[in-house]
Amino acid sequence: MVNKPVEPLDEGDLPLVHALQIGPRLPWTVLGEVLDQHPTSLAARWRRLEDSGSAWITAHPLGHPDQMALSFHDVRCRPGHRRAVAAAIGRIPEVFSVEECHRDRDFMLTVITPDPAQLTDVVYPQLEDIPELSGYESTFCTRLHRTAADWELDALDPGQRRDLRAAVGPPPVPAAHADPQLPSLGPIARILGRNGRASAAQVAAASGLHPATARRRLQRVLNSGILSFRCDVSHRAAGYPVMCQWFARLPAADHNAAAAELARLGALRICASTTGRSNFMFMTWHRSATDIMAMERRASEKLPRLEIRETVIISNIPKRAGWHLDTDGRRQEDFVEVGHHWL
């Protein structure tokens, strides 16, 4: 799979991926009705996309803000050791994503921990144990405005989007306090991390649970709001070979409106308020490098108080949401559970 050239998503793939971005666990019958396709044909098309690594569905913990800490880290390594450092960092469970770049840092990490103490006690020692890693700097997310789970392809008409969202219904609201039965749900969450569309029968087979118990616990996980489900896609297969991240300063009162405006301007993958020298960061995907300047121009026109401090091109994403990716952004077989061991 790694050595094959990436195949762009075709006209049949794009609507399916967009539909699964809206409803990652919607039944094939519902998807077939909205997309006017036979459910069996859609399921077969999805298996092909999964097998090629071009698209996949995963789930990761989404706790109450008081139950988790999201942080970003700039990592530097010794010359000639990028591959070794990327591999070592990718094995750390708390590291959600690893992005490779070529300016003042070699990698940008997104890390999720239950609290800041675990970052200090668990993550930093693992980073410091990597011999070729020469330094790192950290900032903390104070508000997460948009994530990759919010981004969608533009492959469905408004009526189809409306019908799919109606079928999905309102999202479950995470509880303000941890569910005392979470330890019993942890194995289910880990299975969904590898396959976000896993059925009760698949959960029973993978976990050894009685089918009725697996069905009950799976439904409890789905209703709890402890997991975020997302349909991910290879950036090259989707037609977005250029990835760019901006670091900026912006008055705190403008952050919410700025995030909403940026979401209308392009393929916004993440947008967050942060601590540090800059207090606002966002990352987008682009069709070509010329789109970067156009994005900056439109952002400055719509957000006159946005002061862009740095523009960073992302050359590679070795790890995203626990999955190791090839240089085209296709999912590989290696998966490191991100946060599921908390449950």
Q: In the structure, what pLDDT confidence band is assigned to residue 105 with cuts at 50, 70 and 90?
A: very high
Give the whole-angstrom CA distance, residue 52 versus residue 266. Answer: 27
Output the pLDDT for position 2: 46
238-258 pLDDT, tens digit per residue, is 999 999 999 999 999 999 999
Output the pLDDT for position 189: 87
Q: Which amino acid is at 253?
A: A
Task: Kindly state the tokens that stand for 213.
Answer: 């118990």
**Residue 331 burial by Cβ neighbours in a 10 Å radius (0-12, 13-18, 19+):** buried
Q: Please tell me whether residue 185 adopts helix, strand or coil conformation.
A: helix
CB atoms near residue 110 (< 10 Å)? 22
Strands (E), 81-224: 95-101, 107-113, 133-146
Are the CB atoms for 263 and 146 separated by under 8 Å?
Answer: yes
Domain ranges in the chain are 175-224
pLDDT at 92 over 90: yes
Are the CB atoms for 21 and 148 separated by under 8 Å?
Answer: no
Query: 318 CB contacts (<8 Å, ≥6 apart)?
Result: 86, 87, 90, 98, 99, 100, 324, 325
Task: Kindly state the tokens that stand for 11.
Answer: 């006209």
Q: Which amino acid is at 157?
A: D
Query: What secondary structure letter does DSSP report for 5?
Result: P
Give the whole-angstrom CA distance, residue 331 versus residue 235. Answer: 11
Output the pLDDT for position 339: 60
pLDDT at 174 over 70: no
Are the CB atoms for 248 and 307 separated by under 8 Å?
Answer: yes
Q: In the structure, what pLDDT confidence band is assigned to residue 28 with cuts at 50, 70 and 90?
A: very high
Query: What secondary structure letter does DSSP report for 267?
Result: E
pTM summary value = 0.92
pLDDT at 187 over 90: no
Q: In the structure, what pLDDT confidence band is assigned to residue 1 with cuts at 50, 70 and 90?
A: very low
Query: What secondary structure letter does DSSP report for 8?
Result: P
Residue with tokens 């990716």: 325
Residue with tokens 């300047």: 293
Give the whole-angstrom CA distance, residue 21 versus residue 137. Answer: 33
Output the pLDDT for position 285: 96
Look at phi and psi of residue 322 and say left if phi exceeds 0, alpha if psi is from -120 to 50, else beta. Answer: left
In this structure, the strands spanning 267-274 and 323-325 are unpaired
Are the CB atoms for 8 and 237 separated by under 8 Å?
Answer: yes
